[in-house]
Structure formats: structure tokens, C-alpha cells
Amino acid sequence: MIRPSCWVLAIGTTGTALCLSVLAGWQRGGALAERLVWVAIGIVLVVSAHLLPALIRDLPYRVRAVAGVLWLACMATACSGHLTFFLLAQRHAGELRASAVPVSETAPSGRSLTVVTAERAGVTARLATIIAQRCMGNCTTREARRITLAAKLDALDAEADDIRRRQAADDRAVTRRDALATDPVTGRLAALLGTTVARVDLLSGLTFAAVLEGVACLLWTIALQPRSALGIMAVVPPVTAGHEANGSHTPDSAPVTPLPADASPDPEVTQLMRDIAAGRVRPTVADIRKHCGCSQARATFLRRQLATTNSKA
């Protein structure tokens, strides 16, 4: 008998996968109708991926082969939906962490460093020209112009320094925001493996999705396994030599001899018990005759041996 904990785990795992698919489908779509369609597709694919292995277990080989291909497709698409959720969730969490960094409220100077540098170059050139000129009698005017240009050059240097400091502060804030936007474990793992954070996010998301889907398939396969044939045979009434379990009469050409108490089961009976336990055949004369391809009398005899073996067990 399957323990209730297996059913609880199977239902919980499928419920978790369905929640991931619903959220991923809702985020994928734009309009309301598109979101609803994406959600419906995700639910169907997740349920199919979880239940197909248990449902096709006793079907013919060709049907199982086709269903196996469809199951792989369902697994791939379901994992893709889960991966969408994982990546979007990591991005949203990174944005929340990055929003904790205060934004600089310093008012911009209104001029870029390029403009200030160009103006400084012009002032430097004029100052160099004045210094290179000889004094021809009007030295006071020349000295005044030199002092003015030197002061303007100092002012431009100070303005350029302020712009550089603001740019450095902005760069540090951007670097910090980028660091907070990246998951700490993912960032360190990417540095350890020598790869990018995006690749580690993709690989970890695929791993989580594959493990979740694999566990769900295993749990449902265990939870939906057929009941033991011994439990079924225990409620089947004994069959007489002249009457089948389903009510039809046997031919008079071959009497049925009961199995001796000290005889070992026939190999065909042993194999038939395994098939019944696997759920491939029911313990009735009609099904035994169809499964073994034997006569009515032989099927009745095998059914009688099954009942005798079961009573000994």
C-alpha cells in the first residue's frame, strides 16, 4: 500500500510546479487573453509531464514510444517555463536590492568635462602667448592680462576636478548597484568557475527546474502504481472444475485435477502470477485464456492452481 506521505509529496510537488508555470505564463503574456492562454498551456504541460510516465506504464511498446517522445517535449517546455520564472524572479530581487542604494542628489554643473577641457586649452594657449611676448612699454596691461588668464585657468582646473569627482562618485554608485543586483552566491560561483553571471543563472535555473520535474514524475509513478495481484486474488471466490470465475461453463472434454499439496508450482503458473502482479492480466479464466493463448480447460486449470498457491501463501 502506498503511504499517504507519497501522495502528499506528489501533490505538493505538482502544486509547486503549477504555481511556477502560472506565474511564468502570466509574466510572458501582454494582454489578459494572452496571459490566460500562456497559463493554460503551462498547466497542461506540467500535468502531462508529471502523469504521463505513470499512465503509459502498461500500454503497448509502440504507444509508449510515442508517448515517451511527447513526455520529453513536455518536460523541456515545462522546464523552460520554470526557467523563465527563476530568471525573472532573480532580476526582480536584484532590482529591489539595488534600489536600496541612494541616488546622488548633487546638482549637475551644466557643462561637461569635454567643454571645460577645451576652454582650458584655449586659455592656456593665450597665457603662453602673453608670456612669450616682450614688454614694449605697456607692461602693466600685459601683466594684468597674464594674471587674469592664470586665474581663469585655475578656475577651470577646479571646475574640471569637481566634474571628475562627481563622475567618480557616480561610477562607484553604479558599480555598487550592479553588485547588489547580482545574487551573492551566483556572483561568487561565476568568479570561481571563470564564467559570466548570466550563464550561472541559466544553469542554476535549469537545474532547479529539472530536479523539480524529475521528483514529481518519480513520486506520481510510485503513487499510481497498480495494486498487488495477491490483494486482488484474495477477494476472488474459489473456482470449481465445471464453472469459471465469470460464470461461463467449461467443456466436458477435460476434467480438472486439483494441485497436490506437496507439489511445486508450474513455471507457467509462476510467470502468470508475475503478470497478474504487474497488472498485465486479471485473475479470471477468460483473461488467462486470452493472455496465454490456451484452451478453456487449460485456463481453468491454471486458475485453479493460482487459487491453490494463493491459499498456501
The SS3 assignment for 61 reads helix
Task: Report d(CA 125, CA 153) in Å as an integer.
Answer: 10
- Confidence check: pLDDT of 281 > 60: yes
Averaged pLDDT, 18-38:
91
Between these two residues, 160 and 184, which has the higher pLDDT value? 160
pLDDT at 103: 63
pLDDT in tens, 248-262: 444 433 444 444 544
Burial grade of 144 (CB within 10 A; 0-12, 13-18, 19 or more): exposed
pLDDT at 257: 44
Q: Which of 22, 2, 25 is nearest to 14 (CA)?
A: 22
Mean pLDDT, rounded, of the chain: 80
Share of the chain above pLDDT 90, in %: 24
Q: Which of 14, 10, 5 is nearest to 48 (CA)?
A: 14
Between these two residues, 112 and 49, which has the higher pLDDT value? 49
pLDDT in tens, 215-247: 999 999 888 876 543 344 444 444 444 444 444
Share of the chain above pLDDT 70, in %: 81
C-alpha 145: how far from chain center: 74
Q: Which of 242, 241, 228 is nearest to 283 (CA)?
A: 228
Q: Which of 180, 212, 187 is nearest to 201 (CA)?
A: 187
Between these two residues, 302 and 237, which has the higher pLDDT value? 302
pLDDT in tens, 46-103: 999 999 998 888 888 888 899 999 999 999 999 999 999 998 888 888 888 878 766 6
- The DSSP code sequence of 15-31 is HHHHHHHHHHHHHH-SS
Confidence of residue 280 (pLDDT cuts 50, 70, 90): confident
Task: Report d(CA 42, CA 80) in Å as an integer.
Answer: 10
Partners of 249 in the beta sheet? 243
HEC string of 72-112? HHHHHHHHHHHHHHHHHHHHHHHHHHHCCCCCCCCCCCCCC
